[in-house]
Amino acid sequence: MKLPVAELHIHLEGTLEPEAILRLAKQNGVTLPWPSLEQLRDQYDFSNLQSFLDLFYTNLAVLRTRADFHEITLAYLRRAEASGVRHVELFFDPQAHLERGIGLGEVIGGIREALREGEERFGITHKLIACFWRHAPAASAMEILRTLLAEGHQIDGIGLDSSELGYPPALFRAVFDYARDHGLHVVAHAGEEGPPEYIVQALDLLKVERIDHGIRCLEDEGLVRRLVSERMPLTVCPLSNVRLRTVDTLADHPLKEMLVRGLNVSIHSDDPAYFGGYLDANFEAVDRELGLTNAERATLARNSIESSFLEEPAKSRLCAEVDFWLSAVGRDR
């Protein structure tokens, strides 16, 4: 029996594997600066978030049609099933596709169709979250959000991603007000590269339900106490943090410290095709470098499910499966 988990921090465009990038480039007549697999793979050495984003935004140009979005979503779900994912809240970047002339209908239509198919084939339930670019003007996010709602595109929530430093959450207050007023869930990346103050802004001004990353909260004692007392979910992505050099090595990763402090942390994969693995690889890497007891694994899994937007009774049922898993494997190893 696999430990059931909810994947809450995964960018669809970050599941594009190098082989798929080159195949889609050929299929769609898109010319990339790196024509061979070897040259492409040479690009995967990142010095910070921006150096990754530059590659990520270049590569996603190979996605052109509804069928492409369908194909990569289904490929992700197939891979996710193998790592024990039972519920996914999938991020996508509408601006990355709109600016290349790909319509919201193509993007969301292809993704949604695959999510429905994935639920039938793999039993993975889902939510879909449109993430807005913080490096783009808030007016762009607002215009797209209005269009998404006016045209009835099916999204369950909004998020905030891309370059963090210099783009505080406060810039997006009106966008998040609008989203909440229209019944959407709200999450935001904060405290990945940005200071604890950005986490505070995401909480106070954007009124988010989860913080994506959030690891820099540890620099502010008062903030840690607040996050603990509010049981605010932090979706932590260990392999991503190492590859983007927000932590030096996995052995230095604060995940265990965060657990011990009582923070509501869970493990996620962010951009698995870029950072060295999916959810199972993140769990394995953390276990190898930091050591995880089965009880800690179960806590991380339970946190992911409780922090999800899954409705009852599905949520409680999945949590009960975690308890069952723990009773089957024993608490220690």
Interface with Zn ion (CB under 5 A), residue total: 1
User: Strand, helix or coil at 265?
Assistant: strand
Residues 6+ apart with CB under 8 A from 129: 89, 90, 91, 92, 155, 156, 157, 158, 159, 185, 187
Which partner, Zn ion, ligand HPA, none, binds residue 306 by CB below 5 to 8 Å per kind? none
Residue 222 CB: number of other CB atoms within 10 A?
Answer: 9
Question: CB of 192: closest distance to ligand HPA in angstroms?
Answer: 6
**CB of 188 or CB of 305, closer to ligand HPA:** 188
User: Strand, helix or coil at 99?
Assistant: coil
Residues 6+ apart with CB under 8 A from 329: 294
Question: CB of 121: closest distance to Zn ion in angstroms?
Answer: 26
Which partner, ligand HPA, Zn ion, none, binds residue 162 by CB below 5 to 8 Å per kind? ligand HPA
Q: Is 93 annotated as a binding residue?
A: no
**CB of 4 or CB of 159, closer to ligand HPA:** 159
Question: CB of 164: closest distance to Zn ion in angstroms?
Answer: 10
Residues 6+ apart with CB under 8 A from 69: 12, 63, 106, 107, 109, 110, 111, 114
**Residue of this chain nearest to ligand HPA (CB atom):** 161
Tokens for 114, please give them: 């695959």
Are residues 286 and 325 in contact, defined by beta-carbon separation less than 8 angstroms?
no
Q: Is residue 93 a contact residue for Zn ion (CB under 5 A)?
A: no
13, 192, 296, 306: the catalytic one is 192
Q: Is residue 270 a contact residue for Zn ion (CB under 5 A)?
A: yes
DSSP state of 165: T
**CB of 131 or CB of 305, closer to ligand HPA:** 131
**CB of 270 or CB of 321, closer to Zn ion:** 270
> What residue ranges in the chain does DSSP mark as E strands?
5-11, 85-92, 125-133, 157-161, 185-190, 210-213, 233-236, 264-267
192 is catalytic: yes
Q: Is 181 annotated as a binding residue?
A: no
Q: Is 270 annotated as a binding residue?
A: yes
**CB of 129 or CB of 318, closer to ligand HPA:** 129
Closest by CA position to 134, among listed 103, 173, 81: 173
Candidates 28-36, 100-108, 195-203, 266-274 — which segment interacts with Zn ion by CB under 5 A? 266-274
Question: CB of 270: closest distance to Zn ion in angstroms?
Answer: 4
User: Strand, helix or coil at 14?
Assistant: helix
User: Can you say which residues are annotated as belonging to the binding site for Zn(2+)?
Assistant: 9, 11, 189, 270
List residues near Zn ion by CB under 5 A. 270
Active site residues: 192
